Structure 1
Amino acid sequence: MFSVLLELPEFEVVNQEIFDTHYFVHIEKKADEERCTCCGFYSSSVHDRRTKKVRDLSILNKPLFLNVIIKRYRCQNCEEVFSAPFESIAAHQRYTNRFRQFIYEQVLGTTIQDISQKHQIAYSTVERIFYSIAQEKADEHENVIQKTQEVQDITLSLDEVAVRKGQRYETVLYDANLGAVMGMHQDRDYTSTLELLRLKVIHPERVKNVVVDMWDPFHKAIRTAFPDAQIIVDKYHVVQKVTQALDQVRKKIPGLKKARFHLLRSYENVKEKNRSRLNELLETHDNLAYGYFLKELFRDFYKSTDYAIADQLLSEWIQLAWSSPFESFHEVAKTIENWRPQIMQYFHTPFTNGRTEGTNHKIKNIKRRAYGYRNTQRFKTRVFLECTGQTYKKQMS
């Protein structure tokens, strides 16, 4: 039975023991001769046999342990004693290669502690298995990105993630075409951002577009690293600024705390049962209606398909925002005027950070799941492996 279930063709089953809590199977390599690791001469003279206990994949929900009988040969040419190597068990390992891969896949999306308890394996063992494979996968990840960027134009996305809200940020660099994380760097100032760009982008001459928010140090670093690239201010960040301006208007009107989500959603996304309440609020509060009109009008601006029309709509919107009685909209109008060329670039090259925002949430969850990472490199490795887009996965396959 076990010779079939094991599916380890290099071994034959010598004996098997069944216990209440686990299976214990004695196996030996089928080969009758091995190549000397010293001189390369094939030898069939067995010097002695030793055993090693190895963990393998569970069978019928019970742990399976293999008692591997290791033949040691004496070379008939150089007299050296050597051990037979195995395809399915790496040297000096106490688990099969497939069990190692299984544990790695189990840890993805959860914690090492969870898998340690689930499979009754020491935490340090699970940790060692996971990160040994994880680093291999991360290296593959980086190689695929670099090879892809050698032959096609590059669109980058640069964003920040608050790994400790209000206190510490990570700057995250993405390949927007592949939907893959390229690298991360602590802080979001000019120096650290420039260092990240120069370290991770091997072919700066191929960078054509960079999508980014309105954080000035990011723009300065991009201009230094890629002087010929087009900078596109992410439309979702701009819309967010306008939406926040409306929220400031709402906060100045008493009794509208529960109306926040109705007001901040686009009108077409407000559920039918809530629209009557929204319409009632807008009819009752003129200032609120004015701010809501500005918010919805700005969303319409981004729906334009023609650059000239979009440019005209933006000019009209800025005038309306300045003529409004709201300081919050005055501030947004000023910000939009300052970043207007980069905002309008979206209508030439319509890239956004929409996909990266979802990845940012994953990054926060990874951090939260393990209650923070003391080892920064391991945190970054996790991010590389778990925050990979479907386009990148197709390249890997």
Structure 2
Amino acid sequence: MMFPTTDSTENVLGIKDRNIKFDENLPFETKKIKDERAAVYHAKLESQETRCVNCGFEGSLIKYGTKTCRLKLPNVTATRQPVYLELKKQHYLWKQCRTTFMAKTEVVAAHCSITRPVHWAITLDARTNTSLKTIAQRYHISSASVQRILIQDNAYSLQEKRNYLPEHLCFDEFKATDTYSFIWMDAQSHALGAVLPSRRIATLKDYFLGFPLAERLKVKSIVVDLNAAYINFIPAVFPNVQIIIDRFHIINMANRALNTCRKRLMKQQKRSSREYKLLKSNWRIFLRDAKTLEAKKLSYHPAVGYYDTDVNLVHLALSLDETFKQTYEVYQGIYSAVHDRDAKALKAVLNNYRPLHNEMDTTIRSLKIHWQALLNSCRYDYSNGPIEGANYKIKEIKRTSYGFRNQRNFKLRIYLQFAHI
């Protein structure tokens, strides 16, 4: 039987430590370990020390026995067969001061049986949306070991860094374990800034006031949703900032008001009538930009059971109630102004608004309160789109892992997958 050479074995396993010498007689064998057939390599580790690690004087080393350790290596076969290295570590005695020590290697940490290449592979896999159980099965170790390795090797990424702030920020929150957490990002580069365990204003103030004043003065704009708590605390922490309300949330707020009015009008119609079916099944048509509705080409609408244009269907619904018609016109005015970034048109819609005694009154009142931030949404290009995408990815992380109970572990997985390191 012909065995691979020492050099080829080192290249396959990725071991570059010259102190490790593979057994030329039996460098490799297959045997059963933990009820699995495993590939086992045999090698010996010797030290090149010329000075005592205790007294520092030069002298003679006396070989003082060996200790064989079974180390876990990355899988190198297509069948994902577990791979081990049975390393025979040389034990030494320093004759002058009677100090004993074991030969060491960079391949594995002291008192550990999982090699560093496995550590690196686990961290790389954790940067993808993969569950701990899947990673553990891939490297034939326990899920607890995978989590421990991630914490040991990447603990520095959890340390709060308060020495730099971008000029443009995005603020939002997401559901973490059993509470809501706060997240902020760079609005330009879309790089993750930090994840805080709470969205309470006191927590946010303590965190951001920990940054130097020069960094906080640098911040020019912050994009937020219509959360009044965020809008009120920002000026006290960032003196030179311009607050921008995310355009999606502006339209979404008007959208909800129109939808509530549509449902109320729908319930006033007979269930068997075409008006009821139109308001119930074709609800999306009322939320679209009126300028994009088809006015000439006929198309079949199952809800009403005949061919007609989008414009005619909308006019049919608007003719049912004058209040609903006015609510729809206000919604279209807000939609068009925000979409076209027309601050004057948006101001005209709000100033010319007359109370309709429905949900749109609350929407207009909220928008008027934050008028300056509303105008900034038309003047600046920044939005909360990147951070909403990040929140969706965080939901995927939770779904893959069937949720997290430990907030630190959850935060670490977020940082790893967003390349926060």
Q: What residue is the counterpart of 1:80 in the other structure?
A: 99
Matched letter for residue 283 of structure 2: R
Q: Does structure 1 residue 281 correspond to structure 2 residue 303? A: no
Matching of residues 27-176 of structure 1 within 5 Å? 27-29=43-45, 32-33=48-49, 36-41=52-57, 45-60=62-77, 61-75=80-94, 78-108=97-127, 109-139=129-159, 149=165, 154-163=167-176, 168-176=179-187
Contiguous gaps of at least 5 residues in structure 1 = none
- Deviation of residue 264 (structure 1)? 3.1
Local SS of the residue matching 2:265: coil
Matched letter for residue 210 of structure 1: I
Shift in CA distance, 352/257, structure 1 to aligned 2, threshold 3 Å: same
- Deviation of residue 17 (structure 1)? 0.9
Local SS of the residue matching 1:323: coil
Does structure 1 retain, via aligned residues, the 8 Å contact 2:327–2:356? no
Q: What residue is the counterpart of 2:281 in the other structure?
A: 258
- Deviation of residue 289 (structure 1)? 5.6
User: Residue deviations 1:225-250, cap 9 Å, x none?
Assistant: 12232211222211211111221122
Does structure 1 retain, via aligned residues, the 8 Å contact 2:170–2:384? yes
Matching of residues 121-270 of structure 1 within 5 Å? 121-139=141-159, 149=165, 154-163=167-176, 168-199=179-210, 203-254=215-266, 255=276, 256-266=279-289
Shift in CA distance, 348/161, structure 1 to aligned 2, threshold 3 Å: same
Bigger drift between 41-50 and 67-76 goes to 41-50
Q: Distance in 2 between matches of 1:94 and 1:267?
A: 66
* One of 297, 305, 315 as aligned partner of 2:347: 315
Q: What residue is the counterpart of 2:405 in the other structure?
A: 374
Identify the structure with the greater helix proportion.
Answer: 1
- Deviation of residue 313 (structure 1)? 0.5
Count of paired positions? 376
Give the TM-score, by structure 2 length. Answer: 0.78
Shift in CA distance, 193/266, structure 1 to aligned 2, threshold 3 Å: farther
Q: Distance in 2 between matches of 1:206 and 1:215?
A: 23
Taking only the aligned residue pairs, the percentage that are identical comes to 22
User: Residue deviations 1:155-207, cap 9 Å, x none?
Assistant: 2221122347xx84222222323423333334434323323323467832322
Matching of residues 290-301 of structure 1 within 5 Å? 290-301=326-337
Q: What residue is the counterpart of 1:12 in the other structure?
A: 21
Q: Distance in 2 between matches of 1:37 and 1:279?
A: 87
Contiguous gaps of at least 5 residues in structure 2 = 267-275, 302-307
Does structure 1 retain, via aligned residues, the 8 Å contact 2:255–2:331? yes
User: Residue deviations 1:15-48, cap 9 Å, x none?
Assistant: 2212372101011236644654324456654332
Local SS of the residue matching 1:22: strand
User: Residue deviations 1:105-139, cap 9 Å, x none?
Assistant: 22341221232234432222112112222323445
Does structure 1 retain, via aligned residues, the 8 Å contact 2:216–2:239? no
Does structure 2 retain, via aligned residues, the 8 Å contact 1:36–1:82? no
Does structure 2 retain, via aligned residues, the 8 Å contact 1:138–1:381? yes
After superposition, the CA RMSD in angstroms is 3.1
Q: What residue is the counterpart of 2:271 in the other structure?
A: none
Q: Distance in 1 between matches of 2:202 and 2:229?
A: 8
Q: What residue is the counterpart of 2:269 in the other structure?
A: none
Shift in CA distance, 277/97, structure 1 to aligned 2, threshold 3 Å: farther
Q: Distance in 1 between matches of 2:300 and 2:121?
A: 49
Does structure 2 retain, via aligned residues, the 8 Å contact 1:138–1:385? no
Shift in CA distance, 245/181, structure 1 to aligned 2, threshold 3 Å: same
Shift in CA distance, 270/88, structure 1 to aligned 2, threshold 3 Å: farther
Larger radius of gyration: 2
Local SS of the residue matching 2:393: helix
Q: Distance in 1 between matches of 2:280 and 2:210?
A: 46
Q: Distance in 2 between matches of 1:75 and 1:278?
A: 92
Shift in CA distance, 39/263, structure 1 to aligned 2, threshold 3 Å: farther
Q: Distance in 2 between matches of 1:18 and 1:80?
A: 38
Q: Distance in 1 between matches of 2:104 and 2:11?
A: 22
Bigger drift between 56-65 and 356-365 goes to 356-365
Matched letter for residue 229 of structure 1: V
Matched letter for residue 23 of structure 1: A
